[in-house]
Amino acid sequence: MADERAAEQPARRIREDLRDGAYVMAFSCLASTSVAVLFVGLTRLAG
């Protein structure tokens, strides 16, 4: 049964894996930048 499903789905292309990796990198960059800006804002308000 699993072999039948694997045969029906086409193999992922390298380009799709690279695109997914780029999405993860972009999200990570935005998330870490947002956290850094939040911390800078909080320290400016506190100090």
pLDDT per residue over 1-47, tens digit each? 566 766 677 888 999 999 999 999 999 999 999 999 999 999 999 98
Half-sphere exposure of 37 (CA within 13 A, CB side): 6
pLDDT value of residue 18: 96
Residues 6+ apart with CB under 8 A from 43: none
* Prediction pTM value: 0.66
pLDDT value of residue 7: 67
